[in-house]
Amino acid sequence: MLDIKYIRDNAEQIKEAAQNKGIDVDIDRLLQLDEEKRNLQGQLDELRSQRKKTAQSGQGEKPSEEQIQKGKELKQKIQELEEEYKNIEQERESLMVKVPVIPSKDTPIGKDDSENVEVKRHGEPTEFNFKPKDHIQLGRDLDLLDLDRGVKVAGYRGYYLKNEAVILQMGLMMHALSKLMAKGFIPIIPPTLVKSFPLFGSGFFSGREYDSNVDEIYKIANDEVLSDGSVKKEDKFLIGTAEPSLLAYYADEVLEEKDLPVKFCGFSPCYRSEIGSYGKDTKGIYRIHEFMKVEQVILAPADIEVAEKYHQEIMEVSTELHQDLGLPYRWLQICTGDMGTQKYKMFDIEAWMPSRGGYGETGSASNCTDWQARRLNVKYQNEQKEKKYVYMLNNTAIASPRILISILENYQKKDGSIEIPEILRKYFPGNQEVISPQK
């Protein structure tokens, strides 16, 4: 969420940003409502002051009929203006939450993901001297993946990982956490069942409240039973990434500038309803409802050059992880039409997946400046005791099972076996090197 003064001062640039991001928000109406709100606030303050004076003038003696009548009129007028103020504030708020961050000057202008721009590539697509299998067939042949029973038990997009695939996945998570800890990131296993405010604050709700028709979030229907046996009726949700929980860690708190940056790496299961992906990637485990991920988050000072430096830093972690695994990959700079409302600059990393005949997204790195911090109310104080909102950045360090798809397909051999990436062999009994067909 942006500051209203900033919106007033940069209205034309924000209108352009909204158009380029494909966001339908009426900035002129928002500014009109803000003006009306401020005028009403002034009227209410004046009327309340008059009512207070009227009440005080009658103290110690019986109020006159004129005073009583004036008091009633003031009360009625205040009630009418308060109702009008409430309606204006609700409409204003509904527009405020849609106002986008102005993207960086070097962000490509484009309508959708077809206009994202490749900025970096490492390695060449894997070539085979035999007909390669996709991860589905490899998973079946090597007893690593059971989709049929996954669907039977969990429903659409359900799956089981088995045998060496389990060790591969857990090894990936441990390798990512170890690397990030060595770089000064604080490891955290965050809550995965959360209140609404972390999801609103981080931008995972499309509006002020959860919208089941749009938001790819699972809502939990159960009421919460407290320690005294009472029931608390409060919405709870499953996170789709550790990002909301990590960003909300310091909600409503003020940090010291000397303690910045704060660097978190969070491991969590993740849950996504994928309601917006009907008909996409219906086979295999490329697009599923639950998975595991290690997420990076940085809380930085409110300095765009410093934040850009940290953006590069978290991107390089994903780069290193893909190189550690020996996977061909590329970086894309995301265009305006494929960015979220809160994004100032965004990059995706994609690994080569032979069965797709192309690259598949395995991570995403975003600089959201202070948009999320304002919603979550996370500030810091400098030496002059001035308070500012932190800048918030996030990135996927490693996510499974998409990275598994790339490993299984790129490391397959002619005899149907799969070579285990050297960096992960230490997690296998006896430093196993190959996953072979069972005899």
What are the catalytic residues? 272, 287, 361, 364, 402
Contact 139, 405 (CB under 8 A): no
Q: Supply 251's token pair.
A: 């909600």
Contact 348, 382 (CB under 8 A): no
Q: HSE (CB half, 13 Å, CA atoms) of 175?
A: 25
Let me know how long the chain is. 439
Q: 26, 24, 27, 19: which is closest to 109 by C-alpha? A: 19
Number of Cβ within a 10 Å radius of residue 231: 10
∠ CA 395-401-406, rounded to 5°: 90
Q: 404, 378, 406, 408: which is closest to 390 by C-alpha? A: 378
Q: Supply 215's token pair.
A: 């938001």
Between CA 215 and CA 192 the distance in angstroms is 17
Number of Cβ within a 10 Å radius of residue 310: 20
Number of Cβ within a 10 Å radius of residue 21: 22
Strands 358-367 and 391-400: antiparallel
What are the C-alpha distances in Å from 18 to residues 88, 116, 269? 22, 18, 33
Contacts of 379 (CB under 8 A, 6+ apart): 253, 254, 255, 373, 387, 388, 389, 390
Contacts of 311 (CB under 8 A, 6+ apart): 345, 347, 365, 367, 393
